[in-house]
Structure 1
């Protein structure tokens, strides 16, 4: 299940903090794979990835690739944001309910008439300094990305 890779020439505005544990996630994302942690005790997924299951508190977890298709749960367009994101204003962000049951908060990519319930897909956004992810309208164009 390889996700589309969207390549951008600029660096991430606010790079995520990668740890020894989350390096697996970021490395996979750079290759177009969206991984979550799955508890080997209760079998439930968690995102963002966690070394301890938030459901049953065991530390016996594994990594699992999941589907990247889902629907918008909620969204907003930011018109006045932090100074570091000023060049991106206005931008859309929101929450996506993936088909596998995971809920993900992320930026929305491209121009679309965003609506709750709209079908979207998570894509891997490859910046000059590393990967991140965002949601775009399912079947959306690969052109004119705003991130």
Structure 2
């Protein structure tokens, strides 16, 4: 399943750190795929993607596509932002429990109630992609 992609004019408000390892995540995101790593030894998912499993320390990980749907666990509004994000304040960040039993931190848009269904959306800027959660319509 592909995530919806929203085109956004202009540059990303911040450029993520992209390493040789995480480039696959960012390339997938540009295609509407939300990828992360799964340990082939203990079967646990991790996000952000990691070359070594933080649970069993195995280096045998594989890439897995996630649906990008879940429930809003927590959220807060940032008013006093760090310098790099000051121009964006206030903005919301959230903790989302994905259907694949993985908890992630992300930006969120809109007034979404706790425990509401949310879906990840790709924000495609002129210079690359980011993602955020939005309320899932037709819950």
Do they fold alike, i.e. is TM over 0.5?
Answer: yes
Question: What is the CA–CA distance in structure 2 between the aligned matches of 1:10 and 1:104, rounded to whole Å?
Answer: 26
- Residue 123 in 1 paired to residue 121 in 2? yes
Residue aligning to 2:33 = 33
Q: Deviations over 1:27-79 (max 9, x none)?
A: 00000000010111111111100000111111011100012110111100112
Alignment: residue pair count? 138
Q: Structure 1 length as normaliser, TM-score?
A: 0.88
Q: Does 1:9 align with 2:9?
A: yes
TM (norm. structure 2) is 0.93
Per-residue deviation at 1:80? 2.2
More deviation, 6-15/46-55: 6-15
User: Which segments of structure 1 move beyond 6 Å, counting only runs of 4 or more?
Assistant: none
Unaligned runs of 5+ in 2: none
User: What is the CA-CA distance between 1:128 and the residue it aligns to?
Assistant: 1.5
Q: Is the 8 A contact 2:2 2:67 kept in 1?
A: no
Name the stretch that deviates more: 74-83 or 94-103.
74-83
Please give the alpha-carbon distance, in whole angstroms, between the structure 1 residues aligned to 2:60 and 2:84. Answer: 38
Could you tell me how far apart the structure 1 residues matched to 2:136 and 2:43 are? 29
Q: Secondary structure at the match of 1:14?
A: coil
Task: Give yes or no for contact 2:37–2:64 (8 Å, CA) kept in 1.
Answer: yes
Structure 1: gaps of 5 or more residues: 141-147
How far did residue 90 of structure 1 move? 1.7
Tell me what 1:71 maps to.
71
